[in-house]
Amino acid sequence: MGFEPGRGVLVDYEGNPEGPLVARSTVPLESKALERAGATRQQAVLLFENGDPTRPLLMGLIHAMGDTPLLDALLDSSDSPRNRGATVDGRRVVIQGKDEIVLECGKASITLRRNGRVIIKGVQLESTATGNHRIRGGAVEIN
């Protein structure tokens, strides 16, 4: 698999007498990702229009699952748009930041700082603590 400017995605498969063929893609792929897939000979999922082996459709790339799926997804998306998501299969996930980690979603955010400070902001907050618990807000309801 590879990418050729002006032609698009090129794929080849076992038993193909034609050599690399131009394939239409059902998934958005950046040229860097395609070049990387070609350089590493990454496997892909292909279907063929009307069963015609000269008309491949690229359905997606096959990724080896690492020990850190969320981290792998974040690193893979470093050169792709920020609106990409990551799916984690329920195993333990560790995200580390040297100085600060910020999670944001709409009007809510959680900031973790190196000095141990945790800042939680949102329109409505619900929390439980086994140690000290300081609450600041325009209105605070307890129980």
- Same domain flag for 74 and 109: no
pLDDT (tens digit, 0 to 9) for every residue of the chain, 143 residues total? Answer: 777 777 778 888 888 888 889 988 888 877 778 778 878 888 889 999 999 999 999 998 887 766 666 676 666 665 555 544 555 666 677 788 889 999 999 999 999 999 998 899 999 988 778 888 887 888 888 77
- Same domain flag for 6 and 52: yes
pTM of the model: 0.44
- Same domain flag for 100 and 77: no
- Same domain flag for 121 and 90: no
Write the pLDDT tens digit of every residue in 58-85: 998 887 766 666 676 666 665 555 544 5
Instruction: Name the residue range of residue 72's domain.
Output: 68-95
What string of DSSP letters covers 13-80? -TT-TT-SEEEEESS---HHHHHHHHHTT--EEEEEGGG-TTSEEEEEE-----S-HHHHHHHHGGGS
β-strands 44-48, 56-61 pairing:
antiparallel
- Same domain flag for 87 and 110: no
Provide the number of structural domains found in the chain: 3
- Same domain flag for 80 and 120: no
- Same domain flag for 103 and 85: no
- Same domain flag for 46 and 9: yes
- Same domain flag for 28 and 74: no
